[in-house]
Amino acid sequence: MALVANAPPAAASVTFESRTYVPARGTDGGNTHVLLYEYLALDAEDIATPGLYLRAGGWGRTDLADETFGRTTNGDLQYAFLGWRAPRLNGEARVGRIALTAGVARNEVFDGLLLGSDLPGGFDITAFGGIPVETDEGGRSSDSLYGARLSQGRTGLYRIGASYLKEENGGNPSREEAGTDIFLSPLPLVEVRGSSLYNVIDKSWARHDYRLALGPFFGRLRLSATWASTDYLSYFQSPVHPAFAPEIAEKLDRIGGAVEIGLGGGVTFTGEYTAYRYDVSGDAQAYGAGLDWAGAGFSAGGAYRQVQGDAEENRYQAIRAYATVVYRLVRISASAEHLTYDEAINGVKNATTGTLSLGYNLSRTLELSASAGYGETPEFDHEVKGLLAVLWRYDASMKKGGTK
Amino acid sequence: MTTRSAMTAIATALLLTAAGLLGACAGPKSTALVHPEKVQGLPICTSCHDQDRAATDHDAQWMRSHGAVAVRDQRTCEMCHQVSSCADCHAGKEEIKPSDKRPSRFDTATPHRGDYLSQHRIDGRVDPASCFPCHGRKNQGRCRTCHQ
């Protein structure tokens, strides 16, 4: 199943990865699905000339038994671009199918051009434009996506960014956003990071999302506080996913805090609390805690989380435990989860699932793994799942110390 | 903002970028394309770097907080990660859950473990904005089997 790659002679550094997944799933009275996925990814750095690189990744799927999601085959070219990094000022150009996150552009995938560079005075800029990939269901004629992010800052102290994005579908504006993002570290161990998103079409703020992080104090204590405010009507503009068409003019303020404490001996405690305040719906809250233990050749842990919504249908408790042991070339992992829903779903209040995984490193570049899972959930009385995975990597960069 | 003014702004941005690229002969050296040391597991960057790298420490909150770091410059991520690492979760047509792609990494806070088919109804009602970045504008044929 693994492919064989030969590094181009001119390439100074090539990483080629093949991941083959064969998931299988069966339920009471349902079809048995067996699928074959092949993921390929290529990174070639400094090809032909220093700074020139090629990156590409994608996957294909075929059904070995029964049809899945309405089609027996599927696939996606996730990204494929030729890039060049200038030796100075982080000047960069990319052309092809580009996946981009920069300011209000979040995980945008488009066929086009990206340019970026540092500028004098602590400024840097990224500009991009092309044809969006994710909204191609109605055809790509007259579709466009373009935008830019400009920021100014000083390394380690602050950076403030302003960004803009516009997407047109069939020649009509489907999304127009502007935004700001900030990083601020006025004191050691104190950091504020966040962003605000403005819906230009609605002329209203769609979302604010900020996080204050403190630590690590004494190398073992981290604290964080978060605030996110979302206006549903403005934020969920032009959704492709039908579940995100807002029916009410809801506004949500999410306020949370988290603590992480290293207890020594590889043991870490985490705790979190989140309050949800709505304009229309009743308030909700969530809290939880976890304990993780990691050492040479093993890791183990457990966590509890409770969500208390305004009604029984929005409440559940979740418990999870896991353990992994690595002995020489063999890895054994196990995980179990149990959920209790306050209101029964399909007449069932509990869900229990478990997974056992066995991995074997056949060589430094080839890993085989097999997983088996069983579940009793509100959706399925008995669900059996299996997954075979073959991970193979040719990584020339490892020879010079880097990793990908 | 009208389309014309937006185009003007973009054209200005492209000119500034081109000027920056031209100035790339004189400015400070670019950061490395590839992290010079091999990094494994969930790295705590401040164990080697100064405190100003604390934002990229892959701590217990990393799965939730990494997006705020990527907003500034995803090229920082690409020093250690292939683009496929981002695409595994954030690309448009993914059919395999992130946790299923990493069957051995139960120690990471990968979303959608266990009975998420039932649980997602509640998480989606409580905070749909948390689902939107990955699922809002993607061609999720799988979602449409229920969400018509």
Last residue of a domain, one of B52, B81, B110: B81
Task: Examine the pLDDT at A68 and tell me if it is beyond 90.
Answer: no
Is there a domain that residue B24 lies in? no
The amino acid at A381 = D
pLDDT tens digits along A179-214: 999 999 999 899 999 999 999 999 999 999 999 999
pLDDT confidence of residue B18: 65
Residue with the bigger pLDDT between B16 and B91: it is B91
List the structure tokens of A16.
């080629």
Question: Is ipTM strictly over 0.90?
Answer: no
pLDDT tens digits along A345-375: 999 999 999 999 999 999 889 999 999 999 9
Task: Examine the pLDDT at A332 and tell me if it is beyond 90.
Answer: yes
Q: State how far residue A213 is from chain B, nearest Cα, in angstroms.
A: 8
The mean pLDDT value for A301-312 works out to 96
Residues near A48 by Cβ (< 8 Å), separated by ≥ 6?
Answer: A10
List the structure tokens of A8.
């181009």
pLDDT confidence of residue A133: 87
Residue with the bigger pLDDT between A150 and B27: it is A150
pLDDT tens digits along A238-287: 777 777 877 778 999 999 999 999 999 999 999 999 999 999 999 999 99
The mean pLDDT value for B110-125 works out to 89
Residue with the bigger pLDDT between A232 and B97: it is A232
CA distance A185 to A361: 42
DSSP, res B133:
H
Last residue of a domain, one of B22, B47, B81: B81
- Determine the distance from the C-alpha atom of residue B74 to the mean position of all C-alpha atoms in its chain, rounded to a whole number: 7
Question: Residue A3's pLDDT band (boundaries 50, 70, 90)?
Answer: very low
**Stretch among A92-106, A114-128, B56-70 having the lowest mean pLDDT:** B56-70
User: For chain A, what is the mean pLDDT?
Assistant: 89
Is there a domain that residue B6 lies in? no
pLDDT confidence of residue B9: 65
User: For chain B, what is the mean pLDDT?
Assistant: 77
Q: Residue B90: phi, psi to the nearest 5?
A: -100, -5
Task: Examine the pLDDT at B7 and tell me if it is beyond 80.
Answer: no
CA distance A227 to A193: 11
pLDDT confidence of residue A199: 96
Q: Which of A134, A243, A375 sits opposite B124 (nearest CB)?
A: A243
Residues near A125 by Cβ (< 8 Å), separated by ≥ 6?
Answer: A116, A117, A119, A148, A149, A150, A151, B13, B16, B17, B20
Is there a domain that residue B11 lies in? no
pLDDT confidence of residue A9: 45
pLDDT confidence of residue B114: 85
B115 touches chain A (CB under 8 A): yes
pLDDT confidence of residue A308: 97
Q: Residue A11: phi, psi to the nearest 5?
A: -80, 130
Task: Examine the pLDDT at B2 and tell me if it is beyond 60.
Answer: no
**Are B96 and A23 in contact (CB < 8 Å)?**
yes
Is there a domain that residue B64 lies in? yes
**Are B71 and A135 in contact (CB < 8 Å)?**
no
Q: State how far residue A7 is from chain B, nearest Cα, in angstroms.
A: 17
The mean pLDDT value for B134-138 works out to 77
Task: Examine the pLDDT at A234 and tell me if it is beyond 90.
Answer: yes
List the structure tokens of A270.
């985490």
The answer on B103 and B68 residing in a single domain is no
pLDDT confidence of residue A400: 41
List the structure tokens of A134.
């994710």
B110 touches chain A (CB under 8 A): no
pLDDT confidence of residue A275: 98
H or E element in which residue B124 lies: helix B116-126
The mean pLDDT value for A38-52 works out to 92
Nearest residue in B to A21, CA atom: B101
B11 touches chain A (CB under 8 A): no
The domain locations on chain A are 86-184, 202-310
pLDDT confidence of residue A204: 95
B66 touches chain A (CB under 8 A): no
The mean pLDDT value for A40-46 works out to 92
State how many domains chain B has: 2
Chosen for mutation from A34, A46, A53, A78 (greatest number of chain B CBs closer than 10 Å) is A78
Of chain A, the percentage scoring pLDDT greater than 90 comes to 73
Vertex A204: Cα angle to A203 and A207 (nearest 5): 140
B2 touches chain A (CB under 8 A): no
Question: Residue B40's pLDDT band (boundaries 50, 70, 90)?
Answer: confident
Vertex A105: Cα angle to B97 and A90 (nearest 5): 105
**Are B119 and A339 in contact (CB < 8 Å)?**
yes
pLDDT confidence of residue A149: 96
CA distance B6 to A23: 46
Stated pTM of the model: 0.88
Question: Residue B32's pLDDT band (boundaries 50, 70, 90)?
Answer: confident
A309 touches chain B (CB under 8 A): yes
Whole-number CA gyration radius for chain A: 24
Cβ count within 10 A of residue A191: 21
B139 touches chain A (CB under 8 A): yes
Q: Which of B21, B96, B100 sits opposite A86 (nearest CB)?
A: B21
> What range does the domain containing B75 cover?
31-81
**Stretch among A61-65, A335-339, B101-105 having the lowest mean pLDDT:** B101-105
**Are A314 and B142 in contact (CB < 8 Å)?**
no
Nearest residue in B to A395, CA atom: B82
Q: Residue A65: phi, psi to the nearest 5?
A: -155, 125
**Stretch among A203-212, A338-347, B85-94 having the lowest mean pLDDT:** B85-94
**Stretch among A64-78, A321-335, A352-366 having the lowest mean pLDDT:** A64-78
The b-or-e profile of A167-185 (16+ CB within 10 A means b, else e) is bbbeeeebbbbbbbbbbbb
List the structure tokens of A14.
């090539």
Is there a domain that residue B87 lies in? no
pLDDT tens digits along A213-223: 998 899 899 99
Task: Examine the pLDDT at A402 and tell me if it is beyond 60.
Answer: no
CA distance A32 to A145: 41
Is there a domain that residue B23 lies in? no
Residue with the bigger pLDDT between A297 and B22: it is A297
pLDDT confidence of residue B49: 82
- Residues from chain A that touch B3, judged by Cβ atoms under 8 A, are 166, 173
